[in-house]
Amino acid sequence: MYVRRVDRTELARRIYDAAHLTGTFTLRSGVVSHEYFDKYRFESDPRLLRDIAASCAALVPHGVDALAGLELGGVPLATMISQTTRLPAVYVRKQAKSYGTCRLAEGAEIDDRRLCIVEDVVTSGGAVLDAASELRARGARLGPVICVIDRESGGRDKLAAVDLELFALYTMSELSAAAAAGA
């Protein structure tokens, strides 16, 4: 499959321009921030999402059995990265369904499979930690966590404390620097 090569600095500026908002925002962690990256703005742009996924695909290590996209923002990313890597995608709910199959992860079996968790933005790592705990309880073996943006707010250290390595396409500092250089 042909994968378009994307200039890293150009992609950073495109993500920043599409998704960076200023104002007052309460993050999932409860922290109030004056800047916010609205992941839906880069995930809903087909060209930008394609280029992000192609760049994220390079972060997926060998030996991974499937990509585990976290609800909601990790799902389109995992789907697109799957197209590039040819790895299956598994869609991980915030909590298991209480009806039908009553599954936490949809799309494939996770027991004894090595999963690479895919998330959009990591701040404190709370959503990833919650999902990792549930996935491990269901027999999954976890590899690294891949995200588009690491907000550099302690998530990397919290994930490392439970043996999860974070590979971020960009840190918040890198996005800000690329935007400033392009201004």
User: Taking 90 as the threshold, does the pLDDT of residue 102 lie above it?
Assistant: no
User: Taking 80 as the threshold, does the pLDDT of residue 183 lie above it?
Assistant: no
Q: How are beta strands 66-70 and 32-37 bridged, if at all?
A: unpaired
Please, which pLDDT band fits residue 3 given cuts at 50, 70 and 90?
Answer: low
- Backbone phi, psi, residue 2, to 5°: -75, 130
Cα gap 12→134, rounded to integer Å: 32
User: Taking 70 as the threshold, does the pLDDT of residue 4 lie above it?
Assistant: no
pLDDT in tens, 8-66: 999 999 999 999 999 999 988 888 999 999 999 999 999 999 999 999 999 999 999 99
Structural domains of the chain in order of their starting residue, each with its CATH number: 8-178 (3.40.50.2020)
Beta strand residue intervals within the chain, DSSP E = 20-26, 32-37, 66-70, 89-92, 105-106, 114-122, 141-150, 166-171
The residue with greater pLDDT, 100 or 116, is: 116
User: Taking 50 as the threshold, does the pLDDT of residue 2 lie above it?
Assistant: no
What pLDDT sits at residue 1? Answer: 45
The average pLDDT across 104-122 equals 96
CA-closest candidate to residue 1, choices 43, 49, 37, 50: 50
